[in-house]
Chains A and B, each alone.
Chain A
Amino acid sequence: MTNVIEQLGQWAVGRVREMGRMLLFLLSAFAWLVRPPFRFHQFMKQLHFIGYKSVFVVVLTAGFTGMVLALQGYYSLRKFGSEGLLGSAVALSMIRELGPVLAALMVTARAGSAMTAEIGIMRITEQVDALDTMAINPMQYLVAPKLVGGLIGVPLLVALFDVVGIYGGSLVGVDLLGVSEGAYWNSMESAVEWKDVYGGILKSVSFGLIVSWVCCYKGFYTRQSAEGLGRATTEAVVLSSVLILVCDYFLTSVLL
């Protein structure tokens, strides 16, 4: 019994220590972010990697999400004779929830895992140490640009996700199922408020931070082996995804 309590205590202390280290990592990255030299090229490179290179997967996911949402929504709304509200249902679901969450999960899967692997390999092959020996801070050179890339890239992808998803819904709802085009777009215009858009932006910024923070952290502290790198990448994707969903719940509670 004592052993179990002891192990539980050790586990809890370990988790608290890990959280503290993660927080210090984030604060350190922000501290290095605002210190010169500013590597604009590195920021753009990360924005290109996280943002532009995720466009295809985000568009694909958004299109089919909007389409299936319209399909499901149409048959549910038809029971109440409210097919005209399909546009608002698709738009609100996209802007408030599905856009930020799914886009962030896609970025985690595509760019987040790659970030962990990249930094992890650099750690294992002493490239991170090499930066240190050149008096170039790895937090400033490697982590800070990725953090900015996530903070800017994810909201832009979410905006794209929302737009493509709404057009996907229109394709199925209006073109295939025969909902009036005017009703689809007008119901959207009257239902969507600024606070919905604001909430979506807030979520996407938060999720962008979570993805880049967790994935960089896991890569930075990779254990010195191929197995350690594999574990770090898995942990980064799982932890980022879980944190996105948990954070989504709390943000939604506050925003509603």
Chain B
Amino acid sequence: MVNGFESDGDLVPSLPSPIYHKPWALSQMIRLVGVEKKLGGQPVLQGVDLSIPVGKLTTIIGRSGEGKSVLLKRMIGLLQPDRGEVWVGDVEISRLSGTRLNDVRKRFAMLFQGAALFDSLSVFENVAFPLREKLRMKGPGVTKRVEEKLAEVGLAGMGHKFPAELSGGMRKRAGLARALVMEPEIILFDEPTTGLDPLMAKSIHDLIVTMQQRFGFTAIMVSHEIPEIFGISDWVAMLRKGKIALMATATEFQRTTDPEIREFISVGGTVALPGSLAG
């Protein structure tokens, strides 16, 4: 199956909610339809069709410069598409701006490649930031929630430190705590393990999986960590030449017969199994 869930409905749990009145929205949290984007005059996305299932971890892979991070930023409305539609639940966001776009963004959190912690704030203040600024929370309620999240990501007692005093892995953990603190429905991970040693990368992956299973959010991750991502992702999509070349469950993905995809995932260390799935 390529890039769709209609034939695999049993693989995707439904999430009954009054806001999902579109039939497809019952199983798909985000849907991109024919998304095109040029950057600096160069086409990056050339008609991306992609559906992200609710409550699952979907990983987007592809060569460097293929537009994976651009795609992720499209989903949260940080970049406007030149063409196409981006649906979050039942809201089409590609033409939204201001307060209406912010309303949609409240459902999201994002862990950036460099964690994007505010360097003038301590780790505690970084994690507390969305609570104080968005929910206008104050006092012990904030402290309790922040310390809880810091403990969950293994940073208990590190709240007083500043981002510059943390290692790469600790910064990612702090970024994850900040992403989790608002308890969002969707979390985007932009290459969360870039620049980390294999052990630290594994611990971040494990943390993401544990948190995703505990809180049930929809996770979308851009990653180069092959073959590790096949062990943690529910779904894997590959971006090639500005389009989704293949989207399948992690197991099915490794059985693809598409030679280019097989080469891509083999170089990463996966022994691609012979199978019937074509890209």
Contacts and interface: CB of A to CB of B under 8 A. Distances in A.
Interface of A: 37, 121-122, 125-127, 129-130, 132-137, 141
A125 B109 CA distance: 17
Given A127-B118, A129-B78, A135 B112 contact: no
Given A134-B105, A135-B103, A135-B106, A129 B129 contact: no
Given A37-B136, A141-B133, A132 B105 contact: yes
Contacts of B134: 134-136
A41 to B, nearest CB: 10
Given A122-B118, A133-B188, A137-B98, 6 more contacts: A125-B119, A133-B78, A133-B105, A133-B110, A134-B129, A134-B130
A121 B119 CA distance: 10
28 contacts: A121-B119, A122-B118, A125-B114, A125-B116, A125-B119, A126-B113, A127-B118, A127-B119, A129-B73, A129-B78, A129-B110, A129-B112, A129-B116, A130-B112, A130-B118, A132-B78, A133-B76, A133-B108, A133-B110, A133-B188, A134-B129, A134-B134, A134-B182, A135-B102, A135-B106, A135-B134, A137-B98, A141-B133
A129 to B, nearest CB: 6
Given A125-B119, A127-B118, A135 B110 contact: no
B100 to A, nearest CB: 11
B114 A126 contact: yes
B133 A126 contact: no
Contacts of A125: 114, 116, 119
Q: Which 4 A-B pairs have the closest CB atoms?
A: A135-B102, A130-B116, A135-B105, A126-B116
Contacts of A137: 98, 102
Contacts of B110: 129-130, 133
A129 B79 CA distance: 10
Residue among A132, A136, A137, A141 with max Cβ neighbours from chain B (10 Å): A132
Contacts of B73: 129
Contacts of A135: 102-103, 105-106, 134
Contacts of A133: 76, 78, 105, 108-110, 188
Contacts of A126: 112-114, 116
Interface in B112-143: 112-114, 116-119, 129-130, 133-134, 136
A5 B169 CA distance: 54
Nearest to B114: A125
Contacts of B103: 135
Contacts of B118: 122, 127, 130
Nearest to B76: A133
A163 B77 CA distance: 51
A134 B110 CA distance: 8
B175 to A, nearest CB: 9
Nearest to A124: B114
A77 B119 CA distance: 55
A129 B119 CA distance: 14
A157 B261 CA distance: 64
A50 B73 CA distance: 34
A77 to B, nearest CB: 51
Given A129-B73, A129-B78, A134 B133 contact: yes
B73 to A, nearest CB: 7
B220 to A, nearest CB: 13
Contacts of B182: 134
Interface in B68-109: 73, 76-78, 98, 102-103, 105-106, 108-109
A129 B188 CA distance: 13
A203 B102 CA distance: 37
Contacts of A37: 133, 136
A130 B78 CA distance: 10
Contacts of B130: 134, 136
A137 B77 CA distance: 13
A37 B136 CA distance: 9
Contacts of B188: 133
